[in-house]
Amino acid sequence: NNSWSHWEAMETGAVFKKQKNGRACEWWDGRWVEDFDRMQYLGHNTHRLSVEWSRIQPEPDKIDESALQKYREMLEGLQKRGMRPMVTLHHFTNPMWLENEGGWLANSTVDRFIKFTEMVVDALGDLNDFWCTFNEPMVYAVQAYLVAMFYPGKRNPFKMYRCAELMLRAHAGAYQIIKSRYPNALVGVAKHLLKIDPLPPKIVNGLPIKLVESVFHRAFIEAMVTGELRLPLRKTVVIPNLAGTYDYAGLNFYQRYRGGFAPLSPKTFFLKQVPDDESPPSPPMWGEIYPQGTFERINYIWNVMRKPIYITETGTPDEGDNVRPWYIARMVHSVWQAINFNVPVRGIYYWTLLDNFEWTAGYNPQFRFGLYATNFETQERTIRQSGEFFREISLANGLSSEMVRKYVPQLEEKLFPGSHGQREVKLPSRG
């Protein structure tokens, strides 16, 4: 009984073919066990997962202890397989009772979220020391309150601003709760960043793109640094106890947009998309598949936040697995470049292990992200070539010319030029 299931039932047309997630990947029914084994096969030493607020707190005055126990079993399952959990507290969905109280426009939601955090940390904190309070908060704010693609389906920039402010207040309170109980825990946010490059004439396209950068990128993370939320056409908001409430910088990076301002295209964040002729094909409105942009986005978030970086999501939609090996190689090489500039990148979380129900894209075959293909009729999982490639990288903790020659030979000369050049990309030791 959460906002997403309610949104599906409304059949607004926001979700691909009005699909509903249904069985999805059946983790709640126990398939997490076999999929954790698959992660272990891939050489993973960590896994990021979310807890679902409405499962744990189906009503304002009711706690489902069995749900908390199931999450404990999952965390124990990860530890048993040598994987460190990273638990996300909010990933786009809210209990409907919370929405009925006003959702992320109501002051009361801040206190509700802080109390929810307290409940989860008290139940799971002995098994987890790595927390992400919000996944892509500005994506949620935009989709729910500006472009009407998530519940409650609003189109008001000032409601989007209000949502962002309350999420920052909730994050600050959640951070204090977690650190008061587990001072050595790591706490942060997974922030989605786009790569946005204006086409000429920059005098026309540059200014509106700066506006998008200001609202979608800078405002939230700069507020976490300074404690002050600065948004266009709004007074600066000082948020008590917010400054410095992060122990790492979480970066979600997928794509680039090239072009200029498109006021009639809110679904692409008001940017007209002009793909590079040399870029791989991508689904409509997804933007340009651009893993080499990882280096620049790492440097951007490092220069703002100055804390160790975890790439909390990166990946590409590719049902045929024709592009994903190329994406992985370019992405890992980009991370290695950043590390060579002494940027402390600590880890990469690949999106995703399995093909899944991809929010408004639903089960659209164009949005298959998995290292394993999922047959949603039979629940059979089949490893893709990109999964085997990712496994070799994980086990070696690096990328070699031999791997590239095996999986993406067209990239060998670009990533490892010359017969006497560097033959291996080594990442920092795994910890």
Here the CATH number for the domain that contains residue 25 is 3.20.20.80
Cα–Cα nearest to 196, from 124, 129, 274 = 274
Cα–Cα nearest to 267, from 364, 361, 393 = 361
Q: Report yes or no on 316 lying in a domain.
A: yes
CB neighbourhood size of 136 (10 A): 23
| Amino acid letter, 376 | F
pLDDT in tens, 49-64: 999 999 999 999 999 9
Q: Report yes or no on 418 lying in a domain.
A: no
Residue 211 has pLDDT above 90, yes or no: no
Query: Distance of alpha carbon 313 from its chain centroid, rounded?
Result: 4
> What stretches of 271-421 adopt beta strand conformation (E)?
288-289, 309-313, 345-348, 372-374, 381-383, 398-400
Contact 224, 250 (CB under 8 A): no
What's the rounded mean pLDDT across residues 385-412?
97
CB neighbourhood size of 195 (10 A): 19
pLDDT at position 327, please?
98
Residue 11 has pLDDT above 60, yes or no: yes
Query: Distance of alpha carbon 263 from its chain centroid, rounded?
Result: 26
Domain of residue 189 covers 3-390
Task: Work out whether the CA dihedral 367, 192, 248, 168 comes out positive or negative.
Answer: negative
**How far apart are the C-alpha atoms of 347 and 228, rounded to whole Å?**
29
pLDDT level of residue 423 (50, 70, 90 thresholds): low
DSSP string, 14-75: -SGGG---TTTT-IIIIIHHHHHHHHHHTT-SEEEEE--HHHH-SBTTB--HHHHHHHHHHH
pLDDT at position 426, please?
79
Q: Report yes or no on 412 lying in a domain.
A: no
pLDDT level of residue 266 (50, 70, 90 thresholds): low
Share of the chain above pLDDT 70, in %: 97
**How far apart are the C-alpha atoms of 19 and 230, rounded to whole Å?**
38
Q: Report yes or no on 431 lying in a domain.
A: no
125 CB burial (10 A radius; 0-12, 13-18, 19+): middle
- DSSP class of residue 384 equals -
- For residue 289, list its beta bridge partners: 255
No. of H helices and E strands in the chain?
15, 14
**How far apart are the C-alpha atoms of 25 and 370, rounded to whole Å?**
12
**How far apart are the C-alpha atoms of 381 and 36, rounded to whole Å?**
12
Total domains, the chain: 1
Q: Report yes or no on 428 lying in a domain.
A: no
Q: Report yes or no on 263 lying in a domain.
A: yes
Residue 285 has pLDDT above 60, yes or no: yes
Q: Report yes or no on 163 lying in a domain.
A: yes
Q: Report yes or no on 405 lying in a domain.
A: no
**How far apart are the C-alpha atoms of 99 and 106, rounded to whole Å?**
9
pLDDT at position 209, please?
84
pLDDT at position 335, please?
98
Contact 390, 329 (CB under 8 A): no
Q: Is the pTM of this model over 0.75?
A: yes
